[in-house]
Structure 1
Amino acid sequence: MSIKIENLNKRFGDFVAVDNINLTLPDGQLTALLGPSGSGKTTLLRMIAGLEQPDSGRISFYGEDATDLHVSHRGVGFVFQHYALFKHMTVFENVAYGLTVRPRRLRPDKAAIRKKVMSLLELVQLDWTADRYPSQLSGGQRQRIALARALAVEPKVLLLDEPFGALDAKVRAELRRWLRRLHDEIHVTSVFVTHDQEEALEVSDRVVVMNQGRVEQEGSPEEVYDHPANPFVYQFLGNVNLFHARVGQGAATIGGLRLPVPELKEVENETGLAYVRPHEIEVLAGPAPDALHAVLESLTVVGPTVRLELRADDAKGLIQAELPKTHFRTLGLLQGDDAWLRPLRSKVFLDQHSA
């Protein structure tokens, strides 16, 4: 294991930014720190980098205590949201910078630096920009150069703080696919901060979901999406519908619908909350004994998908459902029509507020 974080705490005045975090970040993997603004993810990243000092706790790199180690001795590469390239230097000079400022005894000769920089520029597919200046590049290109510069010093750990946050959606989507392919080539241990759920799920090997300075859940992207540990994770990772239910004898009852919840079989007649994702709701055009009645309020066609908003009893607000356009056409539903909803997959939590 490459990075171990033990009982880490950080406050800014009365604000608790990081609250007793314990984490192990695996060697060679790309870990996403995911959470809303103010969840502590960037503060945690900056403490790993050595840019912030924890109030208490310990950070180890490959078994060695790095808690009090200066940022220059940690062997980390850092990529910020806003490129942070030197405007007066060429692309080549920017990427070479970390090597040229090394102490003389550790500095490679000019030929070695040139070979290293050009190989990195080829790796990020921008070798043709070596003699250009940052102002002559697009935002996506500048960010790839920033990544090449971070990799030039051969970091033990690569840290990325919302690296694509300043880019438009199309460029961001292209870059995150590119980053995933690049990581598969170089396998440097990487930690990636983002508030974008799709980005975290698409790019990372491991996702750490944070909220109010604490870790809510960690696991593979598939684990945290398919098996959220609590309501916060469920609601943060994509759209979700919320139904009020009564829980008892291993089932949750929503109107005339019963959902099996064997994990809550000890519970007797308590209030529960059932979470169902829009694409995990079956929409029917006719009554069914195991489905909820609803009225179709609106529909939006997005490429091959139709997004429906329906009003149902025992639901909090409008219910969202997504289904393929071809399937929706076979239902023959129009705005204002009756429909019936059947959850294909759900997760039920006890309602802590009613306890």
Structure 2
Amino acid sequence: MSIEIEHVNKRFGHFVAVDNVSLSLPAGQLTALLGPSGSGKTTLLRIIAGLEHADSGRIRFHGEDATDVHVSRRGVGFVFQHYALFKHMTVFDNVAYGLTVKPRRLRPGKAEIRRRVMELLELVQLDWTAHRLPSQLSGGQRQRIALARALAVEPKVLLLDEPFGALDAQVRAELRRWLRRLHDDIHLTTVFVTHDQEEALEVSDRIVVMNQGRVEQEGTPEAVYDHPVNPFVFSFLGQVNLFHARVQDGQARIGDLALPMAAPDHQPEGDGLAYVRPHDIEILAEDDGQGALAAVIQGITVVGPTARLELKVAGGKDLIHAELPKTQLAPLGLSPGMKTWVRPVNSRVFVGHRNQNPPVAEPALHPRD
């Protein structure tokens, strides 16, 4: 089922939580609402669910207006960050709950409820926990049970609010992969809220980047990461290095160093900031005469297969962050204190942002987001 969001606005007092948002979420896709605290993503999700009412605008499910439809009649399944399982009920009864409280004329028989619950527990690979209490399960298992409970009522749309936010890093990574496989099996229109860029990039079909109640950019994970439309999106999706640059005659330069730049013909001329990701910094042990900046290595940190370098360019105030495979450290002979050369191999220049810091979202002003 597709979801259409048309000019939705929501305020809490003087705080603008959602600012004239319009989106079209395709049927069967997994869409991530990504942004920092206070960006409006959770409020928008709650408006889609019917847990919040928009001040203005419309919500349509598959072309039908659902704006004023009560949450109980929208056909949505909702998974919260903190499981919201009934502690005194077994896993089986938790998953069955949504079916057992249906009006009598719509309620399945006991045999059908049992069949559906056990089928869902098998789907989330936890059928062996049916007679256990939630307190006897791990955090990751409880979240999978919460998802099974949401699916039990056969929702038209599945909504997840920071579903893995309360879990440790390893469990989060495992559940991300599991959720992606599950979605590929059931193809249910799914919208999930996250502030974790890696989570959104790994799991979703589509990403909507939000900031201060507005949509900054939407598209596939690859498109949003590789072609950010503004400095906020670039800086929010991973660490970046900033260089003062000037665009002139279709070319960007950091001093005398020419920068590789996407779509240079479409860039306005003037001063700006060049955004370069750490993995797009080439490290040279010697100056090859093809254009590079002299720098001194301030520190090296090895994290698994990746080496992270901090460097300072001569005359520069800020550190440059670079990443390269750990296996390249020895061949290049890199060590702290060593003079080396750095060369951006990919960059994006935003003219008019010179001498400005990357955009920063305002802190959360409402507990729901």
Give per-residue Cα distances to partners, 1:139-165, cap 9 Å, x unaligned: 100000000000000000000000000
Task: Supply the distance in 1 between the matched residues of 2:275 and 2:162 (Cα, whole angstroms).
Answer: 29
CA RMSD of aligned residues (A): 1.6
How high is the TM-score relative to the length of structure 2?
Answer: 0.93
> What per-residue deviation string (whole Å, max 9, x for no partner) do you get for residues 228-253 of structure 1?
11110000001111111111111111
The Cα of 1:352 is off from its aligned counterpart by 3.7
2:253 aligned partner: 253
Count of matched residue positions in the alignment of Structure 1 and Structure 2: 355
Cα offset, 1:268, TM superposition? 7.3
1:329 aligned onto 2:330: yes
1:198 corresponds in structure 2 to 198
Check the 8 A contact 1:242/1:316 in 2, yes or no.
no
Q: Is the 8 A contact 2:311 2:320 kept in 1?
A: yes
Tell me what 1:294 maps to. 295
Residue 159 of structure 2 aligns with an amino acid whose one-letter code is L
2:149 alignment counterpart: 149
Unpaired runs of 5+ in structure 2?
Answer: 357-369
Distance in 2, matches of 1:80 and 1:15, equals 24
Q: Deviations over 1:294-320 (max 9, x none)?
A: 110000111211100001157662101
Letter of the 2:339 counterpart? D
1:255, 1:314 within 8 Å by CA — same for their partners in 2? no
- Specify which structure has the bigger relative contact order, considering alpha-carbon pairs within 8 angstroms and separated by 6 or more residues: 2
- The residue type equivalent to 1:304 in the other structure is P
Cα distance, 1:288 vs structure 2? 3.1
Residue 263 (structure 1) shift: 4.0
CA contact (8 A) 2:272 2:354 kept: no
Q: Equivalents in 2 of 1:314, 1:190: separation in Å?
A: 50
Q: How many angstroms does 1:13 deviate by? A: 0.4
Task: Work out the CA distance in 2 between the residues paired with 1:248 and 1:169.
Answer: 45
CA separation in 2, counterparts of 1:213 and 1:327?
A: 43
In 1, Cα distance between the equivalents of 2:262 and 2:139?
Answer: 51
Q: Secondary structure at the match of 1:106?
A: coil
Of stretches 78-87 and 310-319 in structure 1, the one that deviates more from structure 2 is 310-319
Percent identity for Structure 1 against Structure 2: 74
Q: Which residue of 1 aligns with 2:213?
A: 213
3-state SS, counterpart of residue 274 of structure 1: strand
Report the AA paired with residue 155 of structure 1: P
How far is 1:265 from its partner?
Answer: 4.2
1:342 is displaced (CA, Å) by 1.1
Q: Judge conservation of contact 1:288–1:340 (CA < 8 Å) in 2.
A: no
Partner of 1:28: 28
The gaps in structure 1 that reach 5 residues or longer are none
* 1:44 alignment partner AA: L
Q: Distance in 2 between matches of 1:134 and 1:234?
A: 41
Q: Is contact 2:159-2:190 (8 Å) kept? A: yes
Matches within 5 A, 1:108-119: 108-119=108-119
Q: CA deviation at 1:327?
A: 1.2
Q: 1:101 to 1:266 in 2, by over 3 A?
A: closer
Q: 1:268 to 1:229 in 2, by over 3 A?
A: closer
Change (3 A) 1:354 1:159: same
Aligned partner of residue 143 in structure 2, secondary structure: helix
* Residue 39 to residue 314, structure 1, CA distance change in 2 (3 Å): farther
Distance 1:347 1:316, change over 3 A: farther
Q: Which amino acid is 2:207 matched to?
A: V
2: CA distance, partners of 1:268 / 1:120: 55
- Is residue 79–residue 161 contact of structure 1 (8 Å, CA) maintained in 2? yes
What residue number does 1:133 align with?
133
Q: Which moved more, 1:248-257 or 1:125-134?
A: 248-257
Q: Trace 1:1-355 onto structure 2 (pairs within 5 A).
A: 2-261=2-261, 263-265=263-265, 270-289=270-289, 290-313=291-314, 317-352=318-353
Mapped to 2, the partners of 1:266 and 1:60 lie a distance apart of: 37
Dislocated runs of 4+, deviation >3 Å = 260-269, 313-316, 352-355
Structure 2 vs 1, CA of residues 232 and 266 (structure 1 numbering), >3 Å: closer, same or farther?
closer
Q: Which SS does the other structure have where 2:140 is aligned?
A: helix
Cα distance change of structure 1 residues 153 and 325 upon mapping to structure 2, 3 Å threshold: same
8 A Cα contact 1:295 1:339, kept in partner: yes
Q: Which amino acid aligns with 1:302?
A: V
Residue 262 and residue 98 in structure 1: after superposition, are their counterparts in 2 closer, same or farther (change >3 A)?
closer
Q: Distance in 2 between matches of 1:106 and 1:326?
A: 62
